[in-house]
Amino acid sequence: MLETAARRQALRACLSCKTQKRRCDKTLPGCSYCKNSPKKLHATRSAPVKDHESPVAPHSAGSRGTQPGFPAVFFLDTKIFRNSHLSIPVPRLPVPKYAHHHIGDVSANHAVASRYFETVHPYMCFISKQRFYTYVLNPLSEPRAENALLLLCVRLITVSCPKTLDVHPAKAPAYLAARRFHAEVEAAGIYNLQVLQAAILIALYELGHAIYPQAYLSIGSCARFAIAFGFDEKGIRKSNLVYDWIESEERKRAWWAVLILDRFVNLGNPTRTLAIGDPDSDSILPMDDEVWNSARDYSGPSFTVSSPSSLRMGRFARFAQATYLLGRVLRHVSDEMIDMSFREEEATQLRRTLLALVKLSEMEGEVRRLEFCTQTAVCHSALLILADSKNCPNTRECVIAIAKEAVRVSDDFVSGLAMDAEYVSPFMLHLTYSVGVIYMEMNQEMYREESSQAIHVLKQSLQILDRRWKAAGTYAEILKAREIMGLR
């Protein structure tokens, strides 16, 4: 009896009694005065809970005008939300039949997961392998809509590619099912890490297959989702919730994944406003991927975005660091108010830092046999944007070196010496296209057989990568159009 009473007793007085300075009996779900008052509060007070994803009564504070159960006060006055011990509800949503149709059985899901962690995970390392197998693929765990959604999106990014589809990826049944299921999960009021991870995979799929404007809008939605529910850097720092170190790292990596997508989707228009501001110079990078993947305790150093590049960093950490530098380049070329002398000084410093990271990535390629590092492609893309801005003097030699390296990599694809296209990240495609534009401009100034051959190799490479990412074929078509129109 005492235990039951304790469970029904709130730790603090209700908001109404506290405001009117009355003695509150602290009973749940509402004190005696509030129950008998003709002006009942629209809030039902819940007992203190461990985290923000615990359920509350269906008529939470400020839920009028929003979906049932969601407390509008979460957005309208976060201080009141916290002091009132309210929480975001976690509704249950059955997995629809159309989603079940695409997910498959246990053995098929394990095969898809294995393929995902072999092909996509190495360059977009933001889903914990251990937690995925423990919670998402565990046949003994209760099926949850958010886990089913994440599994569907893992299958989408792994299995649904041009060479396996009879239709354009934008019309692939799995893609349409994933978008529909994701919309239903959000509409039901489920806002947790798995939903964000699924949204990231959908956005990556759209980006890789040039599905616009959906890719751009989806990435912006991921950013707003992450910021709203505390997955961004500021939210993670301020959170007083306790997670094990694996989940804490997973949340951090999800935020970096969103930031990476936001920077990359703006490469075609470098002056467009970003959805996410630049991280602080002391922002902590993801830990070494091998340690995180093995889920073993880590006592090594933490690196920040401003730390000198090191082979002790993980691959995803250097990808994040390269993306941070790309973001600074995008801000640099967008800010027209910067003094010219400072602009040139900043451009020179950015170029120096990017080249240092490229050099380290090349060393990593020799040591770990990572021949086509995604971070190198991002650094090269950033360097080409700097060169095009005319703010960084003496860049021609750097541009020529980048162009020749991109042609060498493309030639390896054409000759069959490179890795299978299935392992190639979509973050390499823009660089290949940009280098094609450079050689076309060279040819327009003065025709050379070398430039003509380079263009041919780059186009062939994009056509090969089109088997995995439809954006490659789209870039090849744009190159052809530029050539016909004689654009510079």
HEC-encoded secondary structure of 121-149: CCCCCCCCHHHHHHHHCCCCCCCCHHHHH
CB 279 within 8 A of CB 304: no
The secondary structure element, H or E, covering residue 76 is helix 73-76
Two structure tokens written together for 215 = 């890719």
User: 377, 431 in Cβ contact below 8 A?
Assistant: yes
β-strand partners of 304: 284
- Specify which residues 284 forms β-bridges with: 304
Q: Which class for 80: exposed (0-12), middle (13-18), buried (19 or more C-beta within 10 A)?
A: middle
> What pLDDT is attached to residue 121?
95
Q: Let me know if 126 is exposed, middle or buried by CB neighbors in 10 A (0-12, 13-18, 19+).
A: buried
The tens digit of pLDDT for each residue in 149-180 reads: 999 999 999 988 888 888 999 999 999 999 99
Would you call 469 helix, strand, or coil by DSSP? coil
Q: Of 164, 261, 251, 283, which Cα lies nearest the Cα of 217?
A: 261
Phi, psi of 50 (to 5 degrees): -75, -40
At 251, list the tokens. Answer: 């949340």
Low-confidence residues in the chain, pLDDT < 70: 1-22, 26-69, 238-242, 365-372, 417-419, 487-488
**pLDDT for the residue 240:** 61
Looking at residue 122, what is its pLDDT?
92
What's the whole-model pTM score? 0.83
Tell me the angle at which helices 193-208 and 214-228 cross, rounded to the nearest 10 degrees.
Answer: 160
Q: What are the residue ranges spanned by the domains of the chain?
A: 1-90, 97-238, 286-296+311-485
Q: Which two tokens stand for residue 403?
A: 């162009």
What is residue 59's three-state secondary structure? Answer: coil
Contact 168, 470 (CB under 8 A): yes
Q: How far apart are the first and last CA of the chain?
A: 81
Stated length of the chain = 488
- Position 15 scores a pLDDT of 57
